[in-house]
Amino acid sequence: MSGAGEGQEFADRVALVTGGGSGLGQAACRLLAERGARVVVADVNDDGGAATVAQCKEAGSEAQFVHADVTKEEDVIAAVAAAVDTWGRLDAAINNAGTTGPSARTADYTLEQWNGVIALNLTGVFLCLKHEIPQMIKQGGGAIVNTSSGAGLMGFAGLPGYVASKHGVVGITRAAALEYVKAGVRINAVCPGSTRTPMLEGFMGGDPVIEKAMEQSAPIGRLARPEEIAEAMVWLLSDAASFMVGHALAVDGGAVVM
């Protein structure tokens, strides 16, 4: 791809998206591709990853899938290497892989449950930052968005691992942003509200009472569409957000301000 035209602000840029096989990650991959980026889709869901790659190609861009479990450092290294080996650089990353984890009160949580949620939601983000940042510094800069949650800005009963991990994502975003901004790497977080993704559908379990409660948890009175969150993610990666550093952007229909 050559110079950027209208709507092609990511032309000649390479992006990595973890959790890119469904939900927010898939929507972000598709949007990045529409705007000219070459995309590395990383996920443990091979079928979902392949579907995302197909969507990116339909949008007119190049894409490849890498099977990657972000709790495993060697998988994260391989995902970053896939971008560099194929296209020579890594300009943008969305560290999005995550899970809600089981629903239980804190004293009823098992250590195994706790460790599983923290490993994926928080340690996974740490490992991605650890290996994305040096590559971006080496080539002169880049931009990273970490997926936190509205639960990274406020408390929710019954999801202690999720809430703790998502607060942690905001914390590591702020620390890393201060550490690397002068090296040309901008790091921010997005904090989505309840969004109609496969992960949330699984959490609701088809229960209309739970779905109604989720819809009413924000003043806007509905669930977000994945594309609405993806727009915020991609904007934070873009040059239009060049003065955004270490910010945790709530995209939640007003839930945080209730």
Annotated domain spans of the chain: 14-257
Which tokens in the block code for residue 257?
Answer: 């301000």
pLDDT in tens, 71-94: 999 999 999 999 999 999 999 999
Both tokens assigned to 143:
């931009």
pTM to 2 decimal places:
0.92
Question: One of 162, 166, 172, 250 is an active-site residue; which one?
Answer: 162
Domain 14-257: which CATH number of 3.65.10.10, 3.40.50.720, 3.20.20.540, 3.40.50.300: 3.40.50.720
Read off the pLDDT of residues 97-111 as tens digits, 9 standing for 90 and up.
999 999 999 999 999
pLDDT digits (tens, 9 = 90+) for 34-60: 999 999 999 999 999 999 999 999 999
Largest CA distance in the chain: 56
Total residues belonging to the chain: 258
Closest CA to 125 of 191, 62, 170: 170
pLDDT of 177 strictly over 50: yes
Is 109 labeled as catalytic in the residue annotation?
A: no
Three-state SS at 194 = coil
